[in-house]
Structure 1
Amino acid sequence: MEKEFSNSKKGILLVNLGSPKSTDVKDVKEYLDEFLMDEKVIDYRWIFRALLVQGIILKTRPPKSAEAYKTVWTDEGSPLIVITEKIRKKLQKQVDVPVEIGMRYAEPSIETGIRALAEKGVTEIVLFPLYPQYAMSTTETVIEKAEEVRKQKFPGIKINYIQPFYNREMYINCLAESIREKLPKNFDALQFSYHGVPERHIFKTDPTKTCNLNDCCTRENNPSHQFCYRHQCFKTTETVIEKLNLPKEKVIVSFQSRLGKDKWIEPYTDETFETIPKKGIKNLAVVCPAFVSDCLETLEEISVEGKHQFTEAGGENFHYIPCLNDEDRWIEVVKTLCEEKLNEFYLV
């Protein structure tokens, strides 16, 4: 039984990427159209983006993507939506304000989530983009969309955004403990596979315009770090392996899910799977810390396709470590981060 919050002025909106409403090709095509036509995802001028997405990608990709979604779809629906809803329900039991979910693409949309809170009397929302690291195609597009919806449909509502938490100790401890519990006893390497982005996205989000995709990621007190996805991925890895007390030579960092022929940040996950068995790495564990909830990119691209690539190249044992999903320790992190922002409303 859900709590009643008819007089609440504050609420929480958990925002994730989104998913097609079904595995039907038409629904997958509709989802991909909205997703890939976002200028923060494919940052070409509109005419060139439309030619690429609607003129090429949507004519060939939806059937293949629909088949991939079928391999991970559950009786309850899309894994991403199902898991995000489980997080919401667990969080709702621990906080005294209403909690809703919204997706950047498809339904339930950000607008749907804000409206649900507004109907419960909420005028101050803590919006939590469920992405540990900042990227133009994740955190930035969520905030931009939420502000657009707020200004057009809910001008009386205030929104307080939770910032990327890639280096927050509570999150690092949570992720490290989750990995520790699932890490096989015998492994040659632990691979951190992050979602990739085009290199130009890194340059575009750099306020200093000094990024060289090299040593600047490790430079102390670099003001670019708060907007640099690449730096934040390496920082998450660095701090987690410190907690796990793993030697650096047993750790690999790579980037997955690249699209098109543009240069994306390297090294690429799929190419790594195909080369490391020749270097003596036969027993591999893989974790995907750019995602907090398992989805197509982890359940199909990594644990199915990735395993196939690795074993075909001579690997022997491939162990995928699930995302944090609705683990209680992760819910506690979500709660703490939300409460920090809820309390800021009192300070205004």
Structure 2
Amino acid sequence: MGKKILLLGNLGSPNTPTTEDVRRYLDEFLMDERVIDIPFLLRYILVKGIIVPFRAPKSAKKYKTIWTKAGSPLITITNQLAALVQEKTSMPVYVCMRYANPTPKFSLDAIQREHPDAEEVIFLPLYPHYAMSSYETAVEHVKANHEQGSYSFKLSVIKPYYKDEKYIHALAESIRPFLKEKYDHILFSYHGIPVRHLKKTDSTKKHCITCDNCCNTASEAHEVCYRHQVKVTTELVAQKLGIKENEFSLSFQSRLGSDKWLQPYTAEQLKQFPQKGIKNLLVVSPAFVSDCLETLEEIHVEGKEEFEESGGEHFVTVPCLNTDTLWIEAIDHLIKKHLS
């Protein structure tokens, strides 16, 4: 076998938590046609004229609350993960981000320069589930950069691993220690996407959101259906941990705009739970493998405040997999499965 290189891909982060850098980051992120999928001119006016000018200062304040001496938590954790995976696999490991730095071109150029004998770069998107605005855009961005460069190595991509046994095991075991304490309910909060994205990625064009109980009805559309995949992840983890059906639920966070997004919404659930007698809550965020703004601030700070202001008493969040040993073993397993 020729020399293999692993390239880990994550979402990205502003270079600094300043309004200027956050504005630059949001510009790139929200101008992605797979994130806001409307005609370019309308997207340009909406993003650069409305969303970013108002959102950047607010987001900068939020980033400052989670920023560490080492920088962005997401970037720091991803780099730490890369170093540990390299130790585990003895395979050179590089990192790139979909937005901001390091870019795919930067990392691919470094691989070409530092490993001229490399025959294959294996790209592992750090997104367990397929979504047009996360997994797909990350893959297509790296593919485009690879095609545009004069690289001597080929590029291959690891498929979504939302039901992979080792990933499920790592996720379940990261939750297990928290179950020593009794909770009224366990909420699995996933990043949200517009409903129309499900219909766009549905290769059959007649399954997602169009037939009854579509997530539980067999279809080739499930290979790229975010809602089906997060449902499977949740159920497999619950089964592994022995959590009963009435003891957990899933929801979706991080809405943007007024379009219809996947429901139920996390923010609304957090406000409603206390009125239903759920005062003691455990929250898990399986869509994110690295702690970031969405987990550290949106859930752990804002979500906690919403829950407690509505009458909740005890709010606990499970950290993302980050650099967990079982997660590193799962990545090693995914690589070996991919190569075989």
The alignment status of 1:176 with 2:175, answered yes or no, reads no
* 2:59 alignment partner in structure 1: 65
User: Do 1:184 and 1:319's aligned partners in 2 also have CA atoms closer than 8 Å?
Assistant: no
Letter in 1 for 2:36: I
User: Do 1:15 and 1:101's aligned partners in 2 also have CA atoms closer than 8 Å?
Assistant: yes
User: Do 1:150 and 1:157's aligned partners in 2 also have CA atoms closer than 8 Å?
Assistant: no
Aligned counterparts of 2:316 and 2:90: Cα–Cα separation in 1: 39
* 1:290 alignment partner in structure 2: 287
Moved more, 330-339 or 263-272: 330-339
User: Do 1:98 and 1:117's aligned partners in 2 also have CA atoms closer than 8 Å?
Assistant: no
* 1:92 alignment partner in structure 2: 86
Aligned counterparts of 2:295 and 2:334: Cα–Cα separation in 1: 25
Once the two structures are TM-superposed, the CA of residue 271 in structure 1 deviates from its matched residue by 0.5
* 2:304 alignment partner in structure 1: 307
Once the two structures are TM-superposed, the CA of residue 184 in structure 1 deviates from its matched residue by 5.1
Once the two structures are TM-superposed, the CA of residue 288 in structure 1 deviates from its matched residue by 0.2
SS in 2 for 1:47: helix
* 1:143 alignment partner in structure 2: 139
Pairing 1:272-287 to 2, within 5 Å after superposition: 272-287=269-284
* 1:215 alignment partner in structure 2: 213
Letter in 2 for 1:195: H
Letter in 2 for 1:46: F
SS in 2 for 1:154: coil
Letter in 2 for 1:279: K
SS in 1 for 2:89: coil
CA 1:67–1:184: 2 relative to 1, 3 Å? farther
> Sequence identity of aligned pairs in percent?
50
Once the two structures are TM-superposed, the CA of residue 9 in structure 1 deviates from its matched residue by 3.0
Letter in 2 for 1:109: T
Q: Which runs of 5+ in 2 are unaligned?
A: none
Aligned counterparts of 2:275 and 2:180: Cα–Cα separation in 1: 21
Aligned counterparts of 1:74 and 1:333: Cα–Cα separation in 2: 27
Aligned counterparts of 1:142 and 1:77: Cα–Cα separation in 2: 22
Once the two structures are TM-superposed, the CA of residue 155 in structure 1 deviates from its matched residue by 4.6
SS in 1 for 2:25: helix
User: Do 1:12 and 1:125's aligned partners in 2 also have CA atoms closer than 8 Å?
Assistant: yes
CA 1:56–1:245: 2 relative to 1, 3 Å? same
Query: Deviations along 1:219-239, whole A, 9 cap, x unmatched?
Result: 1x3111111000001000011
Aligned residues: 335
* 1:190 alignment partner in structure 2: 186
* Runs of 4+ with deviation above 4 angstroms: none
Query: Deviations along 1:265-309, whole A, 9 cap, x unmatched?
Result: 000000000011100000000000000010000000000000000
Query: Deviations along 1:144-172, whole A, 9 cap, x unmatched?
Result: 11111011113533111000000111111
SS in 1 for 2:252: strand
SS in 2 for 1:31: helix
* 2:225 alignment partner in structure 1: 228
Once the two structures are TM-superposed, the CA of residue 59 in structure 1 deviates from its matched residue by 1.3
Q: TM-score, normalised by structure 2?
A: 0.96
* 1:129 alignment partner in structure 2: 125
Q: TM-score, normalised by structure 1?
A: 0.94
User: Do 2:194 and 2:261's aligned partners in 1 also have CA atoms closer than 8 Å?
Assistant: yes
CA-atom RMSD in angstroms: 1.2
The alignment status of 1:323 with 2:320, answered yes or no, reads yes
User: Do 1:283 and 1:317's aligned partners in 2 also have CA atoms closer than 8 Å?
Assistant: yes
Aligned counterparts of 1:137 and 1:310: Cα–Cα separation in 2: 28
The alignment status of 1:270 with 2:267, answered yes or no, reads yes
* 2:38 alignment partner in structure 1: 44
Letter in 1 for 2:14: P
Aligned counterparts of 1:72 and 1:313: Cα–Cα separation in 2: 24
Once the two structures are TM-superposed, the CA of residue 338 in structure 1 deviates from its matched residue by 1.7
Letter in 2 for 1:168: D
Letter in 1 for 2:284: V
Aligned counterparts of 2:331 and 2:296: Cα–Cα separation in 1: 23
* 1:160 alignment partner in structure 2: 156
* 1:25 alignment partner in structure 2: 19
Aligned counterparts of 2:288 and 2:143: Cα–Cα separation in 1: 23
